């Protein structure tokens, strides 16, 4: 069976994870081209991965146009997500593009029109669909283990942005590059998880806040005013009258990468967390007693992102693959959250 020839755009932190994930499938896919605007990163990763010099591209447009590239993996900052997706659609090149789908919703709208004209196999990097505990939670919810689902609480917390760490100004704080702060960064994952588990957002209210108002730019030595959130909370009504509350922060000291959800149904409760990704807590009444069981996630819920990416490239439609429309709808919900927070009103979707 021939190998898919992959072109990788953006060679920073998260690209390292993609390279590692790809390397589990060397019999089916091969990294053949790379691109970064940072010449040092381009040369270094090109060398490490044994990429031919002529396939180390200075422009992502050239990489996408390369007939020797069968599929694209895009791991750049948010300001170029839309352009890369648009070029992949125009070239009919399957892709895996990182979240958030676009920087702002206005960039997602023309992409939808383009996709409807010419659909292309696409995966968006909503990685937590591949956390075994979350996938198992979806199965248990669908199997009716909790009875009718009434509500849930979701949080995605990191601590690296807290004032005491003095993290300097970088693209994640630059509104013109990132669009939003922790909302699009971590909040997009919570939104995707809620959609994965419960369906669509129907109405919501929200608050966005910037806890650390300025950060030092190491290039100028000057403080820069921060125009994106580092704390976001929202509450929503979803399909089937399921109600959820959400919080995300970059200032939660002690939280490394803590994404978790508690789900409450008529006959029980589930807790699933990245802190314990292969187990799930199930609470219910049994023989008149409250019973709490820690369930091990079954093997069939251990689906990986690249397993599904490969299945998608093979023409399959794997269960729960985060596709183009998941990216688009996610961006629509992010936009509704911004509108709700700015207007201090409840927004319908």
- The residues of the shown chain that bind ligand NAD, judged by CB under 6 A, are 9-15, 35-38, 41, 60, 75-78, 80, 98-99, 125, 127, 185
Q: How far is the CB of 40 from ligand NAD (least distance, A)?
A: 9
Contact 11, 39 (CB under 8 A): no
Cα 16 to chain centroid distance, Å, stands at 16
Would you say 20 or 292 has its CB closer to ligand NAD?
Answer: 20
What's the CA gap between 285 and 126, in Å, rounded?
34
Would you say 71 or 347 has its CB closer to ligand NAD?
Answer: 71
Instruction: Name which of 330, 306, 307, 310 is nearest 121 in CA terms.
Output: 310
Would you say 15 or 88 has its CB closer to ligand NAD?
Answer: 15
Residue 116: DSSP 8-state: H
Would you say 156 or 282 has its CB closer to ligand NAD?
Answer: 156
SS3 221: coil
Would you say 69 or 149 has its CB closer to ligand NAD?
Answer: 69
Would you say 14 or 112 has its CB closer to ligand NAD?
Answer: 14
Q: How far is the CB of 293 from ligand NAD (least distance, A)?
A: 29
Strand ranges inside 143-299, DSSP E? 149-157, 201-209, 214-217, 222-225, 231-238, 242-249, 258-265, 268-273, 279-286, 289-296
Q: How many CA atoms lie within 13 A of 62 on its CB side?
A: 11
Place of tokens 């990429």: 51
Judge residue 58's burial from the number of C-beta atoms within 10 Å of its C-beta, 0-12 exposed, 13-18 middle, 19 or more buried: exposed
Would you say 55 or 99 has its CB closer to ligand NAD?
Answer: 99
Q: How far is the CB of 137 from ligand NAD (least distance, A)?
A: 18
Q: How far is the CB of 80 from ligand NAD (least distance, A)?
A: 4
Q: How far is the CB of 1 from ligand NAD (least distance, A)?
A: 28
Q: How far is the CB of 56 from ligand NAD (least distance, A)?
A: 12
What are the Cα distances from residue 32, in Å, to 4, 5, 82, 157, 315? 9, 6, 23, 36, 21
Cβ-closest residue to ligand NAD? 12
What's the CA gap between 28 and 1, in Å, rounded?
8
With the C-alpha atoms ordered 43, 45, 51, 55, is the resulting torsion angle positive or negative? negative
Return the ∠ at Cα 135 (arms to 134 and 140), rounded to 5°: 95
Cα 245 to chain centroid distance, Å, stands at 19
Would you say 6 or 75 has its CB closer to ligand NAD?
Answer: 75
What's the CA gap between 245 and 260, in Å, rounded?
12
Would you say 282 or 309 has its CB closer to ligand NAD?
Answer: 309
Would you say 38 or 345 has its CB closer to ligand NAD?
Answer: 38
Strand ranges inside the chain, DSSP E? 4-9, 29-35, 56-57, 71-74, 95-97, 122-124, 149-157, 201-209, 214-217, 222-225, 231-238, 242-249, 258-265, 268-273, 279-286, 289-296, 347-348
Q: How far is the CB of 347 from ligand NAD (least distance, A)?
A: 24
């Amino acid at each position: 069976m021939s190998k898919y020839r992959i072109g990788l755009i953006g060679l920073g932190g998260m690209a390292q994870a993609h390279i590692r994930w790809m390397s589990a499938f060397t019999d089916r896919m091969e990294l053949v081209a790379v691109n970064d605007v940072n010449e040092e990163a381009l040369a270094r990763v090109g060398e490490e991965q044994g990429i031919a010099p002529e396939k180390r591209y200075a422009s992502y447009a050239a990489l996408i146009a390369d007939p020797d590239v069968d599929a694209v993996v895009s791991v750049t900052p948010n300001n170029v997500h839309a352009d890369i997706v648009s070029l992949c659609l125009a070239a009919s090149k399957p892709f895996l593009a990182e979240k958030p789908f676009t920087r702002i919703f206005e960039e997602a709208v023309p992409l939808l029109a383009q996709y409807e004209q010419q659909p292309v196999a696409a995966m968006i990097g909503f990685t937590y669909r591949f956390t075994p505990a979350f996938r198992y939670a979806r199965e248990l919810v669908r199997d009716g283990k909790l009875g009718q689902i009434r509500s849930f609480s979701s949080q995605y917390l990191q601590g690296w942005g807290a004032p005491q760490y003095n993290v300097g100004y970088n693209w994640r704080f630059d509104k013109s590059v990132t669009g939003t702060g922790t909302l699009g960064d971590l909040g997009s994952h919570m939104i995707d998880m809620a959609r994965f588990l419960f369906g669509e957002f129907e109405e919501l209210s929200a608050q966005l806040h910037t806890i650390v108002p300025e950060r030092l730019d190491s290039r100028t030595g000057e403080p820069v005013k921060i125009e994106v959130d580092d704390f976001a909370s929202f509450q929503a009504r979803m399909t089937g009258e399921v109600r959820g509350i959400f919080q995300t922060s970059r200032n939660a000291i002690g939280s490394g990468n803590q994404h978790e959800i508690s789900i409450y149904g008529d006959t029980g409760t589930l807790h699933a967390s990245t802190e314990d990704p292969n187990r799930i807590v199930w609470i219910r009444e049994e023989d008149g007693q409250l019973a709490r069981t820690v369930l091990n996630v079954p093997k069939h819920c251990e689906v990986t992102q690249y397993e599904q990416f490969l299945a998608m490239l093979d023409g399959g439609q794997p269960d729960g693959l985060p596709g183009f429309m998941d990216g688009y709808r996610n961006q629509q919900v992010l936009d509704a959250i911004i509108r709700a927070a700015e207007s201090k009103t409840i927004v319908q979707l």
